[in-house]
């Protein structure tokens, strides 16, 4: 199964991929070695090495149905090895073969911790090439290395209980996006009376409640947002600024409040009434994450002090400290 790609930050994968591509290019006399991420819609080239002709470029995206990487995904666990695209039954009429006339391709899958395929590591050329048994063994070994790197780094950036992103990811991602000149509005969410749930039903019920609330957030927030559990029953949602329009973060906050109020959450046959207090702050160019968190946290406590189950927006003239 191909994984849906979400907002990601994989610094170690990036470093290991550089070494993997370098090793493969030193071993095989083919023009192009590349790493791609795949979903059911597109094939995105993360990194590409071209010996002579520029056959692929980092950052390129192609419809998934038209790429040779799809053969790797369809084949699942074993590498695909094709010495001559123009004579192999699986590629003789493939869109790539029809375009380049002949060539070679070898690829192996890269897996995530949930067993879904994240992408592929591949070798490609516009002339035939006889891949050796060592080449096949090497790309299979290196794809396993990339998979393990991906899995370990994925564990580093996710909250183990809810599957949402964690504090480490929040800080790394925000800094990376700030360096690109991007800005994010921020929602700071704290569940109301969560301690009472733990006290009355036990921490195991509280944990299950947090999982269900996290799943609710995933369904209610915009696709391009980032949901984070920062600890306990506190969550942060980053929503990118696409214009001066503030409706999206407001609408997201109100959807969350309404869903928690209207939808009774059942955990182990217990019907739990849970609400949330939400603080919100709007992004400004160059505003650091720490300041955004303080502003939204301050607004969230105003919501708590004003009866809970409401949204409060940080005002510019307020001191968040």
- Which two three-digit tokens encode residue 7? 């907002």
Domain with CATH 3.30.70.270 in the chain: 167-313
CA distance 260 to 233: 14
- Which two three-digit tokens encode residue 28? 């095989």
Indicate the SS3 state at residue 44. strand
Please give the pLDDT value at position 211. 96
Please give the pLDDT value at position 11. 67
Q: With beta carbons less than 8 A apart as the criterion, state whether 283 and 177 touch.
A: no
Please give the pLDDT value at position 320. 60
Q: What does pTM read for this prediction?
A: 0.73
The CATH class that applies to domain 167-313 reads alpha beta
Please give the pLDDT value at position 178. 86
CA distance 38 to 35: 10
Instruction: Tell me whether strands 276-281 and 311-313 are parallel, antiparallel or unpaired.
Output: parallel
DSSP code at position 126: S
CA distance 5 to 52: 31
Please give the pLDDT value at position 314. 93
Domain with CATH 3.30.450.40 in the chain: 11-157
- Which two three-digit tokens encode residue 5? 């790609």
Q: Walk along the chain (321 residues) and give the pLDDT tens digit of each residue.
A: 344 334 455 568 888 999 999 999 999 999 999 999 998 899 999 999 999 999 999 999 999 999 999 999 999 888 999 999 999 999 999 999 999 999 999 999 999 888 899 999 999 999 999 999 999 999 999 999 999 999 988 888 999 999 999 999 999 899 888 888 888 899 999 999 999 999 999 999 999 999 999 999 999 998 889 999 999 999 999 998 876 556 889 999 999 999 998 888 999 989 998 999 999 998 877 889 999 999 999 999 999 999 999 999 998 766 665
Paired residues of 279 in beta bridges: 188, 312
Pick the CATH number of 11-157 from 2.60.40.4070, 3.20.20.150, 3.30.450.40, 3.40.50.300: 3.30.450.40
Q: With beta carbons less than 8 A apart as the criterion, state whether 213 and 265 touch.
A: yes
Strand (E) or helix (H) holding 113: none
């Amino acid at each position: 199964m191909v994984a849906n790609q979400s907002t990601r930050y994989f610094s170690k994968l990036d470093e290991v991929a550089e070494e993997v591509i370098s090793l493969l290019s030193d071993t095989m006399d083919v023009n192009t070695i590349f790493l791609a991420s795949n979903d059911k819609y597109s094939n995105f080239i993360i990194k590409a090495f071209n010996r002579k002709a520029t056959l692929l470029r980092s950052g390129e995206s192609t419809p998934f149905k038209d790429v040779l990487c799809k053969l790797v995904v369809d084949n699942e666990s074993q590498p695909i090895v094709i010495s001559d695209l123009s004579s192999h039954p699986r590629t003789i009429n493939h869109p790539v073969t029809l375009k380049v006339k002949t060539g070679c391709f070898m690829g192996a899958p890269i897996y995530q911790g949930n067993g879904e395929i994240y992408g592929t590591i591949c070798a490609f050329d516009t002339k035939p090439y006889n891949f050796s048994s060592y080449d096949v063994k090497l790309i299979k070994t290196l794809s396993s290395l990339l998979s393990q790197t991906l899995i370990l780094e994925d564990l580093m950036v996710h909250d183990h209980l809810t599957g949402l992103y964690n504090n480490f990811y929040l800080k790394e991602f925000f800094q990376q996006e700030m360096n690109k000149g991007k800005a994010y509005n921020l929602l700071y969410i704290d569940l109301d009376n969560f301690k009472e749930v733990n006290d009355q039903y036990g921490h195991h019920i509280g944990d299950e409640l947090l999982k269900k609330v996290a799943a609710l957030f995933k369904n209610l927030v915009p696709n391009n947002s980032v949901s984070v559990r920062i600890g306990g029953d506190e969550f942060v949602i980053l929503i990118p600024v696409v214009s001066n329009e503030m409706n999206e973060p407001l609408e997201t906050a109100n959807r969350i409040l309404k869903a928690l109020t209207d939808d009774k959450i059942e955990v182990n046959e217990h019907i739990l009434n849970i609400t949330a207090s939400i603080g919100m702050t709007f992004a400004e160019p160059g505003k650091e994450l720490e300041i955004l968190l303080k502003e939204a946290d301050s607004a969230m406590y105003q919501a708590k002090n004003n009866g809970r189950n409401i949204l409060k927006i940080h005002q510019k003239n307020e001191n968040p400290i």
